[in-house]
Amino acid sequence: MYSWVMHEFLVAGGVVESLVKYVSESGRVVKSFRVVVGELSMLDIETLSNAIKTLITQTALRNAVFTVEVEPASIVCGTCLSKMSFNEAMAGLNTDAKEVIHFIPDLVGCYISCVKCGSVDLKVVSGRWVEVRDVVT
Ligand SMILES: [Zn+2]
């Protein structure tokens, strides 16, 4: 489990670093921010939240309040443009396939096809990234 904790700390470090940069460039005081974590990033929300909490104590962000939330992943068909939730699209797959897609979402079209038109031109459009949103100053 150690490597996963390291991973969360790396991500937390990136989040805090970008906010510290924003603070020093803008001269503003950050009151609050939201961290949105894509479902597919497979980060542990509690560990990530604790890591951010620890890291900001040494920065100008120490008084900021923040939330960490999960964003569900969704898939869009490149042929008919219909949108599917990731869980819905993955429902029929076995655990091995699910794991591969979790690690390499771009392979999603190798395992499933569009529920509407059958196309395998599928793209994961949300739930892959970690983003800082709604920074209130
Ligand atoms: Zn389609």
Amino acid at 2: Y
Report the SS3 class of residue 118: coil
What confidence tens digit (pLDDT) does each residue in 107-137 have? 888 998 998 999 999 999 989 889 999 999 9
Domain that holds residue 98: 74-126
Do 45 and 100 fall into the same domain? no
Do 10 and 55 fall into the same domain? yes
Ligand 1 centre from 118 Cα, in Å?
Answer: 6
pTM of the predicted protein model: 0.79
C-alpha closest to that of 132 among 58, 76, 56, 74: 56
What confidence tens digit (pLDDT) does each residue in 1-17 have? 445 567 899 999 999 99
Sheet containing 65-71: give its strands across.
65-71, 32-38, 130-136
Ligand 1 centre from 74 Cα, in Å?
Answer: 14
Q: Where are the beta strands (DSSP E) in 42-100?
A: 65-71, 74-77, 83-85
Ligand 1 centre from 122 Cα, in Å?
Answer: 8
What string of H, E and C letters represents the secondary structure of 12-41? HHHHHHHHHHHHHHHCCCCCEEEEEEEHHH
- Indicate the number of domains in the chain: 2
As a whole number, mean pLDDT of residues 28-40 equals: 94
Ligand 1 centre from 120 Cα, in Å?
Answer: 8
What is the residue-averaged pLDDT of the chain? Answer: 90
pLDDT, residue 1, reads 45
Do 39 and 18 fall into the same domain? yes
As a whole number, mean pLDDT of residues 15-22 equals: 96
Residue 57 has what DSSP assignment? T
Q: 46 or 92: whose pLDDT is higher? A: 46
What confidence tens digit (pLDDT) does each residue in 69-113 have? 999 999 999 999 999 988 888 888 888 888 888 888 888 889 989
Do 119 and 131 fall into the same domain? no
Do 68 and 131 fall into the same domain? yes
Q: Which residues surround ligand 1, an ion (CB under 5 A)?
A: 77, 79-80, 114, 116-117, 119
